[in-house]
Copies of this chain bind each other. A is one copy, B any other.
């Protein structure tokens, strides 16, 4: 029997580069009769095709969906060829090499970003005279003149007012510092938004919704490009330093994915296969979270739970490797100067008690309610931005938000400093020597030894002031974050959410602590809190609150708890964290099932088929397929009898991605599916290079050709571009099964048949539209293909 490759020999004049890809995709897959190394006349070794450059051939167009099954079979073909060349080992290792490179680069970038943010945040308040590139902390650390108590004050570090007027105190100095603080913030924000506008529009936002969509098999060209990487890194530093209510964690995931994309382009295994590339990107996302929090295991689970779509075990191992290398690189850079990997290192000295689960669960409820309200408010505002004139002035919007943030933030010490420092202080357990206002407790005069395990003490005036300031900071953060997330600078949501939760948690923690101190005899405290004991750790409440709010916004649970667990490093506090995270998820889900990232995906109309939603409606494939009743019949090709002209006409008149091929219009028996771009290229090349192919040449998709009279023009044989195994379901298939098939196999389209007759086609977009319709949403919100 003729192999399908043999059928293509007539095309030997056709443009190689354009046709190689067809051979790659269809012929080799379909033709088991070609043994490796077999010489095909005029084509050279068919196994060499892979090394040739493909000018102008990219398999998918921008804003289109990939076909996972097809990518997978392409990779297997490549694999087979590689095996015959005995470079399997190198090939297998290339994955690990890419991971190593991603880990190294994203760890380095995270370190650089951390250092730069530290320096520039402090630049808003003053400058280090001994070395301009030192941040406040570094400046005073290197100074020998500071005492242990007063670590923050050293002569080398001068605020702007000191430097310019010589006065550190007083109304004039305050106003000058205030003014310069706002000015620096505006300058940073303006620089950030301008850079984003001019060089890389994709660099704005957190990037996680888009990365989720890309990982599910969508093409957004340039989203993970080199320019985006560069500009996002720079503008992220600027945006965080400007004091806006945003974090660097989400964007770091985007930066790591850009690194992943960059390095995957070095190896043809990944650069030429969109499916394999996505495996690398999943691992890169894990590395991003790993460096953002110093939590490699949490990063892997984040990638698994929140970001990834297709996550085979191999990717699990590689993600873990990438996350570890990244974390290790970051630790070598040591940006926090404390040899710690984690962003917020905490150590608590007391266990928690069963009764404390009540406030923890209350914090969970708070987190869930806040998360749900935040998502609604933020989405409403973003929709407003998209639909009204507001969206036309992104620079102005950023400037306005920055100005308001800076003006409101400066007077309050808890909002003036960077949000990570705030969280760090809130998480902290008060030691005997802590100078923070939050630790201004009235000490027992009898207690002399400076021990770790300080008993509960009554709160001093500093604590009450701090509570008021924290309450104001809470309101401010809650309001301003709604308007910040979504402006045209890189902006993450992790840190602001954690800040909201940590403030609420700390306030509640102090309240419980004081209640326990003053009311030892209450029945709820009696059992576990004797006088003079250290019962309540307010820092733990802050941590639980942070987890609850982060959970309410993102609806993560396991990865969230693991990240928090890696921060504290103790299994002790896993139950409080879990209780809060699960409560916040339940409460949040009661208001609306989707997290902030899914909400933004829906807002932008990306074709994202969420694996979490369950489709439980009882519609059938016949209800969803095209053509519907009353619509014109499906555009099909017949296996013989169509002329080149007819095909060209069909291509011109329709914009479908592909056409089913049937035996005859009468029988409508399906034999295969042909891609639009394959068809276009094949006809174009045949017309240019193959003699005798004219407009009324007949196109054949059959295996054998009929004997034509010599008067007929040269026929065009196209079986080698025909996909002989298109995916089909019957019209009676329940849509839940169809949705399942689309999700699990990553299909782009599926043909609908009944008793072997072709009835219609269902595309991924049709499925998404149908799902939107079933959930009473606007089906036209699904925009891309």
Contacts and interface: CB of A to CB of B under 8 A. Distances in A.
A728 B728 contact: yes
A725 interface: yes
A536 to B, nearest CB: 20
Do most interface residues of chain A lie in helix, strand or loop, or is the interface mixed?
Answer: helix
A69 B72 CA distance: 22
Contacts of A729: 725
A168 interface: no
Nearest to A622: B32
B29 A734 contact: yes
Interface in A379-396: none
A694 interface: no
A198 to B, nearest CB: 40
A700 interface: no
Contacts of A582: 317, 321
Nearest to A572: B341
Contacts of A80: 616, 618
A176 interface: no
A755 interface: yes
Nearest to A339: B351
A741 interface: yes
A316 B558 contact: yes
A29 B616 CA distance: 11
Contacts of A618: 28-29, 32, 80
A569 B571 contact: yes
Given A558-B316, A558-B317, A324 B575 contact: yes
A139 interface: no
A79 interface: yes
A734 B725 contact: yes
B317 A557 contact: yes
Contacts of A73: 734, 736-737
Nearest to A294: B571
Interface in A449-482: none
A155 B670 CA distance: 88
Given A76-B616, A80-B616, A669 B725 contact: no
Interface stretch (A369-377, A559-567, A708-716, A760-768): A559-567
Contacts of A669: 755-757
Contacts of A317: 557-558, 582, 585
Contacts of A314: 612
- A interface, size bucket: 35 or more
A399 interface: no
Interface in A693-741: 724-726, 728-730, 732-734, 736-737, 740-741
Nearest to A70: B737
Interface in A329-344: 341-342
Given A76-B616, A569-B569, A725 B745 contact: no
Contacts of A732: 30, 724-725
B725 A737 contact: yes
Contact of A316 (B305, B619, B725): B305
A320 interface: yes
Given A297-B562, A320-B558, A616 B734 contact: no
Contacts of A296: 571, 574
A620 interface: yes
A683 interface: no
Interface in A582-620: 582, 585, 611-612, 614, 616, 618-620
A48 to B, nearest CB: 18
A519 interface: no
Contacts of A724: 730, 732-733
Interface in A285-307: 294, 296-297, 300, 305
Interface string A8-36: 00000000000000000000111010000
Which of A32, A294, A570, A582 gathers most chain B CB within 10 Å? A32
A475 B80 CA distance: 43
Contacts of A320: 557-558, 561, 578
A591 B624 CA distance: 51
A724 B32 CA distance: 32
A550 interface: no
Contacts of A740: 69, 72, 745
A100 to B, nearest CB: 12
A744 interface: yes
Interface string A662-673: 010000011100
Contact of A79 (B79, B612, B616): B616
Contacts of A523: none
A296 B565 CA distance: 12
Contacts of A757: 669, 756
B558 A300 contact: yes
Contacts of A55: none
Contacts of A571: 294, 296, 341-342, 566, 569
Contacts of A616: 76, 79-80, 83
A632 interface: no
A725 B730 contact: yes
A171 interface: no
B670 A756 contact: yes
Nearest to A30: B732
A170 interface: no
A565 B69 CA distance: 37
Given A317-B557, A558-B316, A569-B571, A745 B741 contact: yes
Given A73-B737, A296-B574, A297-B297, 7 more contacts: A72-B737, A73-B736, A296-B571, A297-B558, A297-B562, A569-B571, A725-B729
30 contacts: A30-B734, A32-B618, A32-B619, A69-B737, A72-B740, A73-B737, A76-B614, A76-B616, A76-B734, A79-B614, A79-B616, A83-B616, A305-B316, A317-B558, A320-B578, A321-B582, A324-B574, A328-B575, A342-B571, A566-B571, A569-B571, A621-B725, A671-B755, A724-B732, A725-B729, A725-B730, A725-B732, A740-B745, A745-B745, A753-B756
Interface of A: 28-30, 32, 69, 72-73, 76, 79-80, 83, 294, 296-297, 300, 305, 312-314, 316-317, 320-321, 324, 328, 341-342, 557-558, 561-562, 565-566, 569-571, 574-575, 578, 582, 585, 611-612, 614, 616, 618-621, 623, 663, 669-671, 724-726, 728-730, 732-734, 736-737, 740-741, 744-745, 753-757
Q: What 3 A-B pairs have minimum CB-CB distances, sorted nearest first? A: A756-B756, A724-B732, A725-B733
